[in-house]
Amino acid sequence: MLVLLPPSETKSEGGDGPPLDFGALSFPELTPVRRTLAEALRALADDVPASLGALGLSERQTEEVERNAELFTSPTAPALERYTGVLYDSLGARSFTRAQRARADKRLAVASALFGVVRAGDPIPAYRLSGGSALPGVGGLRTAWRDDLGTTLSTVDDLVVDLRSGAYAALADVPHAVTVRVVTEDEGGRRKSVSHFNKAAKGRLAAALATAPREPGTVRTIVSAAKAAGLRLEPVGKRELELVID
């Protein structure tokens, strides 16, 4: 099973790993696109105003441009520790036991505007680049990633649980993936999608799937692993699930 997480705009500082090494990342077939994007992002950082504009940042966020300027020299950290925010706080990877972390490193992957997709343990630097961005000389990221990333994700042999947000799901399709929608249910049984608690709920689900003693390999066992963690996850189609929250 591969649980495909969305990234986060926010990243942790520092790290104790060596500088970026494309050869240390999973899915090596993505290296050419990764390198092209990284070099373009690093070059863009030489022009701070242009970087702020291209990345949709304010003048108070120039430290994000500084991160991109140090893309090839700054320390790395495992992807699961690099990304921060509500989903990753809810996931709680730092509280995993050694055995649970080993399972998580095998089962979790993160969608990335810069790297396409990385596994949980892949060493990456802090950076700033969003799925909807465009880079000088490269263009929009959807065009840059569509063919290579689509091929990689479509040929993953494992069951894929796709928890990506819209901008990252748009970078490449995963035709065989199981998708999850977070919903609430009223007294009459009517359901509607939620946004406020979406990330936290997906983080809890990802933790349940990542740490389950037996790796879920079917929709049925995904639902069972969620239930064991106190989550209400229900099939609504052959490859569609709804995570019902209070």
pLDDT digits (tens, 9 = 90+) for 114-131: 999 999 999 999 999 999
For residue range 186-245, what is the model confidence (pLDDT) as tens digits?
988 899 998 889 999 999 999 999 999 999 999 999 999 999 999 999 999 889 999 999
What average pLDDT does the structure give for the chain? Answer: 96
For residues 30-44, give the mean pLDDT. 98
Distance in angstroms (rounded) separating the CA atoms of residues 124 and 91: 19
What is the CA 53 to chain-centroid distance, rounded? 24
Q: Alpha-carbon distance 109 to 111, whole Å? A: 7
Number of domains present in the structure of the chain: 1
Residues 6+ apart with CB under 8 A from 189: none
Mapping DSSP to helix (H, G, I), strand (E, B) and coil, where does residue 162 land? strand
**pTM score, two decimals?**
0.94
Q: Tell me the average pLDDT across 9-34.
A: 97
Which residues does 18 contact at the CB level (< 8 Å), separation at least 6? 75, 76, 123
CB 178 within 8 A of CB 222: yes
The pLDDT of residue 187 is 87
Residue 131 C-beta-side C-alpha neighbours within 13 Å: 18
Which residues partner with 160 through β-bridges? Answer: 2
The whole-angstrom separation of Cα 159 and Cα 176 is 8
**Structure-token match 């069972």, residue found:** 224
Question: For residue 108, what pLDDT is reported?
Answer: 98
Beta carbons of 91 and 206 less than 8 angstroms apart: yes
241 is in which domain, residue-wise?
2-245
Instruction: State the Rg of the chain over Cα.
Output: 18
Contacts of 104 (CB under 8 A, 6+ apart): 80, 93, 96, 120, 210, 211
What pLDDT does 127 receive? Answer: 98
